[in-house]
Amino acid sequence: MQRYNFDRLWNNVKRTLFGKMIQRECDLPLAMDIFKGVQFAPSMAAAVGMGLLANPLPLLAGSMYGNESRRWLQPDIAGVMDFSGTGSEGQFYIMDWFLVDVIGFTFGVAGTTTACKVDFDLYPGINATGTITASNLDGTNGTVTAANITTAMAIGAVNYKMLTETGNVLCSPGNSIDIDVATACTAGTSAMAFVLGFPKAETFQNLTTGFIGT
């Protein structure tokens, strides 16, 4: 399997018009192909022809390489979340630039009766403090409702939504994502929400809310 020198690729790509467009490491080989001609991904280029230049996003999503660097955010609670009542059930703290990819929740104690709905809200400070930055992350898609009240809320069931297919939600250090149960399900239900995504290469000198300590 071919191995890439990503530092070398980035040194070339960052000087081009693609430099500001790169969000993830996995985009670098494809960006080099577009800029300098097919060198790193000839099979992908042959498959899509000129479509590579017009619409590369489906190709990148299908390559699956980027999922190897996907991370998950750690919730601020030690136990499970109670989905039997509405309201906040905890937060995810963001300490680096983070591009949200997948949101969702999984059940430890099954739910019934009502399809659970969970909103993921972005705040500028930890503990969901400050004026909310974006309800439902991008204002629309940051909410997940269980697919049904039977199999989708059974023990081990995972309900999720892919956010990178609808738009980019980029979070900054110091932000938090609040888990807000909008529609509750059965009393005694326990579950755990999750947020998956990718780190973005950025320097703290560009953080508008950052201050260099002494």
pLDDT tens for each residue of 202-211: 888 889 899 9
Cβ atoms of 172 and 197 closer than 8 Å: no
CATH number belonging to domain 71-199: 2.60.120
How confident is the model at residue 31, as a pLDDT? 73
Q: Output b/e per residue, 73-95; b: 16+ Cβ within 10 A.
A: bebeeeebbbbbeeeebbbbbbe
Per-residue model confidence (pLDDT) at position 173: 94
E-assigned strand segments in the chain: 71-72, 81-82, 87-93, 98-109, 117-123, 143-145, 158-162, 170-171, 176-183, 190-199
- In this prediction, residue 153 carries a pLDDT of 92
pTM of the model: 0.70
Supply the pLDDT for residue 144.
96
User: Over the stretch 182-201, which tens digit does the pLDDT of each residue have?
Assistant: 999 887 788 999 999 988 87
pLDDT of amino acid 35:
65
Q: Between the CA of residue 120 and those of 73, 96, 97, 144, 145, what are the distances in Å?
A: 13, 18, 17, 8, 11
* CA dihedral over 26, 65, 166, 42, signed as positive or negative: positive
Secondary structure class of 122 (helix, strand, coil): strand
pLDDT in tens, 68-83: 678 899 888 877 888 8
The pLDDT of residue 112 is 83
Domain locations along the chain: 6-69, 71-199
Residues of the chain with pLDDT under 50: 1, 42-63
Please report the pLDDT score of residue 45 as a whole number.
45
